[in-house]
A and B are shown apart, each in its own frame.
Chain A
Amino acid sequence: MLQTNLEHIESEEQLKELIENNEKVAVCCGRMGPMCIPVYDIFEILQENYPDIQFRDMDFDIPAAAMIKGLPECQKFWGLPYTIYYRNGKVVKATSSIQSAKEVKSIIDEVFA
């Protein structure tokens, strides 16, 4: 269970519904580890500045995370967290491992502009 202030995705249905019903979605899938926590925190800060983007997190070890792990974009990922950006239901960017606030903002500006 992730201890963050973000809304958690806990099932495949929740994730499907989220990306089907929202134009811009960012999901950080990880554990409570040193590379993941900074990204959750950055999401938490940015969700105030980008109200049109749905920021969520997801526990890497729950069955529903298979939906993220199985994405073609993640097949070469060997580092947590997996961060996925969806636009209109499609993956537009995926990153592996820690990202700084600057990097996350730059991705958001690029893929959600």
Chain B
Amino acid sequence: MKRYDVIIIGAGPAGLAAAIYTSRAALATLVMDESSAGGQVKTTHQVANYPGFVEPIAGHELAGNMRKQAEKYNTKFKLAADITALHLSDQEKCVEIGNEDKYTAKFVIIATGSSPRLLNIPGEKDYKGSGVSYCATCDGEFYKDKDIFVIGGGNSAMEESLLLLQFVKSITVIHQFDELQAEKITADKVTMNPKVNILWSHEPRAFYKEENKMVVEAENLKTNKRIRLERDGIFIFVGLVPNSAFLKNTPIQLTKYGYVITGPQMETNIRGVYAAGDVRDKRHRQITTAVGDGTVAALEVIRKV
């Protein structure tokens, strides 16, 4: 059993900002993450709206700097860590990792962020990387002069479609509503492109592969009729989900969408447990707002120690 003053679950901008503050206040700070440090920022090509950088900075560089800054003040890290048990109700909280490691602290800050939403339909996992993709920048060129599907109608779907249009022969957008949710300026650029057509009010139900083609079985949400369409590949951009599944059997209050409910000082319904960043129920999710949340949570912890 190892004891810390504060355990921060999640090593994205919210968690790392909190760690910088608590470590600088000489609190023994442990940051744990099921993956590596950096959160979604490390996968962002260029960050142009983070104050202090006149020129855009690569996301992985910004994330790397945040981690180094936390380490400089003696934050400890436990990465690629699977949380197997979480005890948050007592004054002394306990987080178990794997079968052996137990960590305790009076304060826990949950900063696990969010992840791209999966459709969770048959075929999606099976064809990841061989017909199903989640990144235009990474995989667009594999589909040069090919016909593809884009699933989704929000900002990320339309922005990624614009990138894909540089490579592909055609895009069929499959969207569950009658209109796109993306900002009009981006949506217009996509819809006005002659290489794009849109299948409105449809939702994919399954993906198959037949010879070299990807087949989408899509349901018309108005008539419940199913159709089968084939193209060369499928790109999925259907929003984000909070990384809060590990909290479901704890007393932490979540919204119906799985976001953690906090007060203005980031405290959850459990004394000594805070939440910060994209996992928290709030309107705006940016690197800057995550860093702000992490800062507030850390200052509250420092005040209460």
Q: Residues on A close to B: CB < 8 A?
A: 3, 30-38, 41-42, 44-46, 49, 76-80, 95-98, 100-102, 105
Contact = CB atoms under 8 A, between A and B. Distances in A.
Most buried by A among B37, B43, B44, B143: B43
Interface in B12-67: 34-38, 42-45, 58, 60-61
B129 A77 contact: yes
Interface residues of B, number: 29
Nearest to B212: A76
A83 to B, nearest CB: 10
A32 B35 contact: no
B130 interface: yes
A42 B80 contact: yes
Contacts of A102: 34, 82
B133 A100 contact: no
B121 interface: no
Most buried by A among B42, B61, B79, B138: B138
Contact of B139 (A42, A49, A76, A78): A78
B55 to A, nearest CB: 16
A33 B80 contact: no
A102 B44 CA distance: 22
The 3 closest A-B pairs by CB, nearest first: A96-B129, A97-B129, A41-B36
Given A3-B60, A96-B129, A101-B80, A42 B138 contact: no
B82 A98 contact: no
Most buried by A among B34, B35, B129, B133: B129
28 contacts: A31-B138, A32-B58, A32-B60, A33-B137, A34-B135, A35-B134, A37-B42, A37-B43, A41-B36, A41-B38, A42-B36, A45-B36, A49-B80, A77-B130, A79-B128, A79-B142, A80-B138, A96-B128, A96-B129, A97-B129, A97-B134, A98-B135, A100-B34, A101-B34, A101-B80, A102-B34, A102-B82, A105-B80
